[in-house]
A and B are shown apart, each in its own frame.
Chain A
């Protein structure tokens, strides 16, 4: 599995989490907002940060591949 595939899987995981967040509509808004902010947003932020870190790793691998091919 390439880093591109992994990045796509992370995006899919984020989308799944987002859909799950949207389904939990039974609570009142302020409670949901609090729970969302404290528990679920950090999960999504961690995934977003990982995507950035993966992009850096991909850049490094591309640079390495160019050096190897040169």
Chain B
């Protein structure tokens, strides 16, 4: 594995890490935006309920005034009856509109509660996976940069690199497997990392990678780079 290849891999890893972190940041912004939007919608829906409740109270007042007017013998009975009728219709319509606003507010509140749970699940999934992925990539990149650059060790780079990659994955997976019993499962998130078969598979691959490097190192003559390709 040449130095150029190492540099290219290092660059690719940094780009991937940057991509993961950007994604996590964009998702955090989207989640915060969605929360704000639903809170605003809830506030507007409640404000409409308050406004329509006030309209019902005004209509109720008008009905009471019309009834009071009907008891005034100096007024035209037909006119006061008409006034009562109009006030009652106004009150009925205002009540209907208040009921609609209440149903709308309940719909919004329910959507807000559902989305809040979804946002929390998403936040947990993205926070954990992005953080572990970025950390694994950064560690891998750092280890790649520290690999020795001479003699037989240079020929082992690819194999060691492969071992590190697998090792990082195993480490991260083991970490998440521990978390699987609490946060992720509590949040009802289905991820492959919660799958124990996958964890076992990765651990098996890790063991195989270790055996492979040991075996290849044992086979390798002390001072030759000629068999590098067999490792890669």
| A50 contacts B104, C-beta separation under 8 Å | no
Complex Cα distance, B84 from A10, in Å, reads 56
- Among B18-26, B58-66, B73-81, B222-230, the stretch that binds chain A is B18-26
| B27 contacts A45, C-beta separation under 8 Å | no
B-contacting residues, A1-59, CB 8 Å: 1-3, 5-6, 9-10, 12-14, 16-17, 19-21, 23-28, 30-31, 34-35, 37-43, 45-47, 49-50, 53-54, 56-57
Q: Does B33 contact A (CB under 8 A)?
A: yes
| A64 contacts B104, C-beta separation under 8 Å | yes
Number of interface residues of B (CB under 8 A): 65
Q: Does B55 contact A (CB under 8 A)?
A: no
Interface string of B172-199 (1 = CB under 8 A from A): 1100100000000000010111000010
Cross-interface CB contact of B34 among A6, A39, A60, cutoff 8 Å = A6
| Closest A residue by C-beta to B6 | A26
Complex Cα distance, B8 from A39, in Å, reads 21
Cross-interface CB contact of A68 among B45, B122, B172, B202, cutoff 8 Å = B45
Task: Give the shortest distance, in Å, between B8 (CB) and chain A (any CB).
Answer: 6
Q: Given A39-B132, A57-B114, does the pair A2, B104 have CB atoms closer than 8 Å? A: no
Q: Given A6-B37, A23-B19, A39-B136, does the pair A61, B30 have CB atoms closer than 8 Å? A: no
| B129 contacts A60, C-beta separation under 8 Å | no
Residues of A within 8 A of B121 (CB): 46, 49
Cross-interface CB contact of A70 among B26, B100, B129, B173, cutoff 8 Å = B100
Residues of B within 8 A of A12 (CB): 26
| B108 contacts A31, C-beta separation under 8 Å | no
| B132 contacts A10, C-beta separation under 8 Å | no
Instruction: From A14, A19, A38, A49, name the one whose CB has the most chain B CB atoms within 10 angstroms.
Output: A38
| B115 contacts A53, C-beta separation under 8 Å | yes
Interface string of B6-48 (1 = CB under 8 A from A): 0011001101101110111011011101101110010001001
| Closest A residue by C-beta to B111 | A60
Q: Given A3-B37, A9-B30, A42-B191, does the pair A17, B125 have CB atoms closer than 8 Å? A: no
| A2 contacts B191, C-beta separation under 8 Å | no
Interface string of B85-113 (1 = CB under 8 A from A): 00000000000000011011101101110
| B198 contacts A38, C-beta separation under 8 Å | yes
| A50 contacts B119, C-beta separation under 8 Å | yes
Using a CB–CB cutoff of 8 Å, the interface residues on chain B facing chain A are: 5, 8-9, 12-13, 15-16, 18-20, 22-24, 26-27, 29-31, 33-34, 36-38, 41, 45, 48, 100-101, 103-105, 107-108, 110-112, 114-115, 118-119, 121-122, 125-126, 129-130, 132-133, 136, 161-162, 165-166, 168-169, 172-173, 176, 189, 191-193, 198, 202, 205
Given contacts A21-B19, A45-B191, list 16 more A-B pairs with CB under 8 A.
A5-B33, A6-B30, A16-B19, A20-B23, A26-B5, A34-B166, A34-B169, A43-B24, A46-B27, A46-B121, A47-B122, A57-B38, A60-B111, A64-B41, A67-B107, A70-B100
